[in-house]
A and B are shown apart, each in its own frame.
Chain A
Amino acid sequence: MDLTLIFTDYTLRTVALGAMVLGIVSGTLGSFAVLRRQALLGDAMSHAALPGVVLAFMIVGSKALLPLMFGALISGWLGALLVSNVVRHTRIKEDAALGIVLSVFFGFGLLLLTYVQRQGNAQQAGLDKFLFGKAAALVSQDVITMGAVGAIALLLMLLFWKEFKLLSFDPAYGASLGFPMRLIDTLLTSLIVLAIVIGLQTVGVVLMSAMIVAPAAAARQWTDRLDFMVALSALFGVIAGVVGALVSSSGAGLSTGPVIVLVISVIVLISMLLAPNRGLFWEWWRQRRNRQQLRVSAVLTDLHTLATAHGDLYHAHPVGTLRAARPGGGVRRTLRVLSEQGLVRESDKGEWGLTEAGLAEAERLLAAESTTDSPPEAEIATASEPRRDAVLDAK
């Protein structure tokens, strides 16, 4: 596809702009939903929006986006309100409440949709695009509406940034400072519903929650700062939205929602695997390095302990003796690493002993071990590691 068409072709430009707005708004507000562990609430609210869309169409009689969005907003918001009230006033837990609201509202929405389609009203054709999304159907009036609503949502988020952060991290503390946390909660939830409503026509109710959750989940992998996370999440949302919308509009007749979800899934996958610090690959790499480091110092101190028993600190031992102390294996490889560093040397008989440098290093390690028996700073780093001196202690 010729990408310059985005700037010249009316349809493509409209679609790309719409998807961009949607990506920014759902990415930013979705960050708060993810941090508050409310990913499922987004799913329930987007499904709950369907009956509102259809009812608004039945009342207005046209598919103008603003009234349909308004209908979606009301019914999505009612769904969220219902969830929080069911949780507060009954013994039903949140996951069950979410499931109930999602399926009841969505079922009702489908019922209404089938009913409208049976009426044979020519206007209704295309109303079902709200299920899986059809970006190609966007006209510039729609994009202006989405942009205006999105701008309001973003402005409010910036205005209440501090309050939303407090709500997401420690709501009880926020309440103790005198902030009306329930009100702030309602406001944030309303903004998330707005973000969902903006994307309904483009992505559809079924998959819209992916645009709330996935960009934020991917962004969390790359940064430990809230503001960076929100910005990055918006960027991922834009990429997924624009690529997805363009691919689906390019004529293959694909629904936009699924394509957008595919693109964002790739971004999530890459983030999960490769992001520095939090990525699985780096995690694996760090563990490997740690284990190696640990083995190196263990073998070195073993040599020292064994040699001390002979009264000669340079006394050499065969590999078998060392293996007996370290059943984990990898002793010979570790010895080779140590000898490259000049800390041990192999005798003519194939026995291993400390060099002068190795002796100094072993003594340094042993001294460090005895002074920092359980340093508070090392609590986390060493919690999962086995006690390295356990084997020698047991002898």
Chain B
Amino acid sequence: MSNPSSSTLPVAVRDLTVAYREEPVLWDIDLDVPPATLMAIVGPNGAGKSTLIKTILGLIEPAAGEVSIFGGTIQEQRRRVGYVPQRGSVDWDFPTNALDVVMMGTYGRLGWFRRPGRGEQAEARQALGDVGMEEFAQRQISQLSGGQQQRVFLARALVQDADIYFMDEPLQGVDATTERAIMSVLRTLRERGRTVVVVHHDLETVAEYFDRVMLLNVRKIAEGPVAEVFTEENLRRTYGGRFALLQAAPVR
């Protein structure tokens, strides 16, 4: 895959189209994400938000278009990319504890066959501490609340020590404690120059939490600094008729 541009931006997407059974799910998407940014992707259900980050991560094969991560392909840059999948994508009744799940974040670095050791365990404990979960290290994962499970997923990504993170609805259905803990982690990441792209559902908190926002509904409706593009007009174009329900949301 040739690079879309010679840029070394954390993410550069050109003309990205993804189809499912000939139906376009994402259509002709361009996207540049600058470094040290918290960016939200918002849009209605079925707009292709998860598909976009999965395609950038190389989990879904695009029909057309190119993705570059720090100027290289995703395969070249795996070590610099962290991923937080949707919480509902796994079976939380799996026989394992929180610490063990977090240690999976070290598997990429370990490569084939090598098992995590003391060093990896210490890193995982540290990451659990960063999300306020140190005392739950040995807890069976089904015994955790939804918010705690979400924080375990975040800790697992933190262990990867990536330069850019993609997170699929990390604030969906979590308690207030978890939301505060997650946002404080995200801000720390930004302070350290990391970039975080978040699929987000809550329009009310976009302006408070994020620097940039992408409004997506199969096509890119708008993208840029929140202050410029998070407008009522753009929201109406993104959500269509359904936006009537959302007018209570404070927009600029």
Contacts and interface: CB of A to CB of B under 8 A. Distances in A.
26 contacts: A37-B91, A159-B113, A162-B107, A162-B113, A162-B115, A163-B112, A165-B96, A166-B104, A169-B104, A170-B89, A172-B54, A173-B85, A176-B58, A176-B81, A177-B78, A177-B107, A177-B108, A179-B107, A223-B95, A224-B140, A225-B96, A228-B95, A374-B175, A376-B145, A376-B177, A377-B148
Given A159-B113, A168-B94, 12 more contacts: A35-B94, A162-B114, A170-B85, A172-B54, A173-B156, A175-B59, A176-B78, A179-B108, A226-B95, A226-B96, A374-B175, A376-B145
A394 to B, nearest CB: 27
B178 interface: yes
Interface in A212-242: 220, 223-226, 228-229
A178 B142 CA distance: 27
B96 A379 contact: no
Nearest to A223: B95
B113 A379 contact: no
A45 to B, nearest CB: 22
A377 B107 CA distance: 29
Given A177-B78, A179-B107, A376-B145, A172 B85 contact: yes
Contacts of B114: 162
Nearest to B112: A163
B161 to A, nearest CB: 13
A229 B75 contact: no
A252 interface: no
For chain B, give the interface size range.
Answer: 35 or more
A100 B237 CA distance: 46
Contact of A229 (B95, B112, B146, B160): B95
B213 to A, nearest CB: 23
A1 interface: no
Contact of B59 (A161, A165, A176): A176
B83 interface: yes
A282 interface: no
A163 B58 CA distance: 19
A220 B81 contact: no
Contacts of B83: 172-173, 176
A228 B116 CA distance: 18
B175 A380 contact: no
A35 B231 CA distance: 46
A193 to B, nearest CB: 22
Residue of B91, B96, B116, B143 contacting most chain A CB atoms (<10 Å):
B96
B229 interface: no
B126 interface: no
B147 interface: yes
B110 interface: yes
A281 interface: no
A223 B97 CA distance: 11
A188 B94 CA distance: 18
Nearest to B77: A178
A220 B94 CA distance: 9
Nearest to A376: B175
Given A177-B108, A376-B147, A377-B145, A169 B85 contact: no
Contacts of A160: 113
A31 to B, nearest CB: 9
B127 interface: no
Interface in A150-172: 159-163, 165-166, 168-170, 172
